[in-house]
Amino acid sequence: MADELRFDGRVVVVTGAGAGLGRAYALLFGSRGASVVVNDLGGGRHGDGSSTKVADTVVDEIRRAGGKAVANYDNVLDGDKIIQTALDAFGRIDIVINNAGILRDKSFQKMTETDWDLIHDVHLKGAMRVTKAAWPHLRKQGYGRIIMTSSNSGLYGNFGQPNYSAAKMGLVGLASTLALEGVKSNVLTNVIVPTAGSRLTEDIVPPDFFEQLKPEFIAPTVMWLCHEDCSENGSIIESAIGWTGKCRLYRSNGMMLRKNLNDMVTPEDVRNNWDAITSMSGAKAYDSIQEVTGEIMTTLENLKSASSSVSNKELVLHTN
Ligand code: NAI
């Protein structure tokens, strides 16, 4: 196909590529000309143990299909070693897909600091370390694509996942800033929010639904986000069952509780206007922190001119 999306000459690192979503990404990239580093420490779903088998199996699958791949068995916390594998084997790094993940589900009441730390280490610190090791190479060559993997548990919360949802939302914050810091060097960062049938979800999803949740339905979206023709940056892209869409934060129009510059705000002002403050009718999405702070400045300017027109009126009344 003439307009097929190709990755010839590109090198991609996929973390946690021995199973589930990461495996689907690695196989698809391998089939489109990319050289793939298949990273996986081969542990259990709670972060226990390790084995070289899962990464080796995926490397074999890619090679048997005619693609190029090498295995890496490091923990994502050793991000520099994972990126070094790409440099040693293929001489460059172009695309980083931060996908490795584990679960330690507990309600907040039962969650221990170990549950918190293990999840943050793998999801948030691991993604930071792998990306940080690749970052100078991507910037220097003026091309790079980074994927962070978040979750609806992060965006909306999920009972029993306080540690996981915090780490997953942390990745959204990290991606938002990397998107700004990388754009001048054509290093673009986006977030994928998948819902897929995998060992992380096999016991919580009904079997017929599980069948429809193939990671292969999500991999093409991740692939497009990583292509040099794709200019999407700093976005949260949700994908499942062959459906893909974009998520954004929306803010209500809110309400100015001061009528002029000399007014203070009381807790009762807030209580009495709570419905208007929180009404989402006419809510807007913002593209940048500058847009948000700019709007605060405009609201302040409006307050200043309202205050001065009030005092001008007072002046007129007094002089009459
Ligand atoms: P999976 O358990 O099938 O695959 C994750 C892989 O990561 C495993 O092969 C595991 O060995 C590897 N891994 C775990 N810790 C690692 C570490 N420290 N270093 C290197 N490799 C490590 O899971 P699945 O479902 O494919 O999940 C992939 C990502 O997508 C995870 O980040 C997960 O949190 C996220 N996600 C998955 C959803 C789903 O519906 N399956 C929903 C939302 C997010």
pLDDT tens per residue, range 58-87: 999 999 999 999 999 999 999 999 999 999
Ligand 1 lining (C-beta closer than 6 Å): 15-16, 18-22, 39-43, 45, 47, 54, 75-76, 99-102, 122, 126, 149, 151, 194-196, 198-201
Residue 197 pLDDT > 80 = yes
| Assigned token pair, 219 | 């991999």
| pLDDT tens-digit readout, 123-163 | 999 999 999 999 999 999 999 999 999 999 999 999 999 99
Output the pLDDT for position 211. 87
Nearest CA to 73 out of 63, 87, 59 is that of 59
Mean pLDDT of 7-11: 98
| 113 has a pLDDT exceeding 70 | yes
Q: What is the mean pLDDT of residues 49-61?
A: 95
**Structure confidence at residue 48 (pLDDT):** 86
Closest-CA residue to 215 (of 181, 240, 248, 247): 240
Confidence of residue 317 (pLDDT cuts 50, 70, 90): very low
143 in catalytic set:
no
Ligand 1, atom 44: closest residue by C-alpha: 151
| Percentage above 70 pLDDT, the chain | 96
Q: What are residue 88's phi and psi, to 5 degrees?
A: -65, -45
pLDDT at position 50 is 87
CA of 18 to the centre of ligand 1 (A): 9
Is residue 318 pLDDT above 80, yes or no?
A: no
Note the ipTM here.
0.99
Q: Which of 15, 39, 40 has the most ligand 1 atoms within 8 A of CB, as the residue to mutate?
A: 40
pLDDT(320) > 50: no
- Segments in the chain forming alpha helices (H): 20-31, 53-64, 79-90, 113-119, 126-141, 152-156, 162-182, 207-212, 219-225, 267-272, 274-278, 289-319
In Å, the largest CA–CA distance within the chain is 93
Lowest mean pLDDT of 136-145, 179-188, 204-213, name the range. 204-213
What's the whole-number average pLDDT of the chain?
A: 94
Residue 1 confidence class, pLDDT cut points 50, 70, 90: low
Task: Calculate how far, in angstroms, residue 193's C-alpha sits from the geometric centre of ligand 1.
Answer: 12
Look at residue 59 in the predicted model and tell me its pLDDT.
98
Q: In the prediction, which pLDDT does 80 show? A: 98
Ligand 1, atom 18, lies closest to the CA of 75
pLDDT at residue 319, as a whole number: 43
Best residue for ligand 1 mutational test, from 99, 130, 165, 241 (most atoms within 8 Å of Cβ): 99
- 23-42 pLDDT, tens digit per residue, is 999 999 999 999 999 999 99
